[in-house]
Amino acid sequence: MASSQTSFRTWAELDKDALRHNLAELRRHLSEQVQVMAVVKANAYGHGVEWVVRALRGEVEWFGVANLEEAKEIASLASGNAILVLGPALPEERAALVEGGFTPVISDFEEARAYAALGGKAGVGVHLAVDSGMGRLGVWETEAVELAKACQTLRGLRITGVGTHLPVADEDDDYTLQQMGRFRSLVNELRSMHLFDGPVHIENSAGAIGFPSDAEDLVRAGLMLYGASPRAEFQEKLLPVLQWKARVTLVRSMATGRTVSYGRTFVIPQASRVATVSVGYADGYSRHLSNRGAEVLIQGIRCPLLGRVTMDQIMVDVTAVPSVVVGEEVVLLGRQGDQEVTAWELARKSETIPWEIFTGIGRRVIRMNAVR
């Protein structure tokens, strides 16, 4: 983590208080006994996994990661927390996963048998993933009891949790309610047959926000912790954790008829002041923002992006900011004065989702603590 912004071309300022605030809002929204798994896959949604784990390790019960590499990355930092690996492991990753003490998910008997063989005397605890409509991993819901029964015959394996995933918790409430109802019946059946012992988890951010009373034992929260709500009604409760900035590297006057950037897609309509800014698509400022009404903030004023985003630089219209100087701060994502560019705004303008905006923020973007 860097400590001074003065020499950076593009950087992200991270606010620990905002992260903890968002977690507190989630807890307030849920029943008291519901546990929280902070999902920190993909470098904690681009926020810097070390920073996020250090900030939350005393505050959440679980961390969720995508794969073995990510689990190993946080193992020593998050020693007080359980770590669930959300995706299926490759066969050659399983031994290290068990040795690391991480919790894998299983979808079929072949995975169960492989983990059982690695379980030794102590046995390995796994979570049974159930496919109740996501179609990505898990045993299909009508075959889950059969698989859990088969697992009971395996020495070296215990089912220590059961989970499923919601594909439309922010798009289709009827489907989501039906899906959760079916899953709850299945869990009751598994429980009555003593086929597992441990937490039941269903909900991502959208699920936890939209259906707090269906949370069961544990929610797996990602996006909302970082301050973007997948459901509009909760957005006002959350604070953005990350602000993304760059700097003005040049300011020039451009006459009517001159063109800006590759493809010459933007023609200067009348004499303008144009600033060049030190960020590009290689930093994660998407090329899909080109000619889509994207704006950056300079001195609290919205300045339109001109022409195409290039690899390392963008050009913006600063005619409305006559006092702009080289070196000045440019806000790509975040607040300046009374203006704010949100991850949702960038996502809509580049036809994607805030998850991709955050995870797309590149390696050249220095992560640092926000100065309050």
Ligand X SMILES: *Cc1c(COP(=O)(O)O)cnc(C)c1O
Enzyme catalytic residues: 41, 262
The answer to whether residue 220 forms part of the interface with ligand X (CB under 6 A) is: yes
- Which residue in the set 222, 240, 280, 307 belongs to the binding site for ligand X (CB under 6 A)? 222
CB nearer ligand X, residue 59 or residue 329 = 59
Residues 6+ apart with CB under 8 A from 8: 2, 247, 366
CA–chain centroid gap for 264, Å, is 35
Residue 315 in tokens: 């050009």
Lookup result for tokens 């050249």: 364
The answer to whether residue 321 forms part of the interface with ligand X (CB under 6 A) is: no
Closest approach of ligand X to the CB of residue 41, in Å: 6
What is the Cβ-side half-sphere exposure of residue 120, based on CA atoms within 13 angstroms? 5
Q: Is the dihedral of CA 118, 124, 127, 128 positive or negative?
A: positive
The answer to whether residue 165 forms part of the interface with ligand X (CB under 6 A) is: yes
The answer to whether residue 205 forms part of the interface with ligand X (CB under 6 A) is: yes
CB of 298 within 8 A of CB of 248? Answer: yes
364: left (phi over 0), alpha (psi -120 to 50) or beta: alpha
**x/- map, 16-45, ligand X, by CB under 6 A:** -----------------------x-x----
The answer to whether residue 65 forms part of the interface with ligand X (CB under 6 A) is: no
CB nearer ligand X, residue 294 or residue 333 = 333
Site for ligand X in 70-109 (CB under 6 A): 86
Closest approach of ligand X to the CB of residue 45, in Å: 7
How big is the site for ligand X, counted in residues (CB under 6 A)?
Answer: 12
- Which residue in the set 38, 97, 200, 223 belongs to the binding site for ligand X (CB under 6 A)? 223
CB nearer ligand X, residue 230 or residue 307 = 230
Cα–Cα distance measured from residue 234 to residue 314, given in angstroms and rounded to the nearest whole number: 33
Site for ligand X in 175-204 (CB under 6 A): 204
Cα–Cα distance measured from residue 250 to residue 308, given in angstroms and rounded to the nearest whole number: 17
Which residue's C-beta sits nearest to ligand X? 222
The answer to whether residue 132 forms part of the interface with ligand X (CB under 6 A) is: no
* Per-residue exposure over 222-246, b if at least 16 CB sit within 10 Å of its own CB, e if not: bbbbbbbbbbeebeebbebbbbbbb
Cα–Cα distance measured from residue 206 to residue 190, given in angstroms and rounded to the nearest whole number: 26
CB nearer ligand X, residue 169 or residue 365 = 169
Q: Footprint of ligand X on this chain (CB under 6 A)?
A: 39, 41, 86, 165, 204-206, 220-223, 230
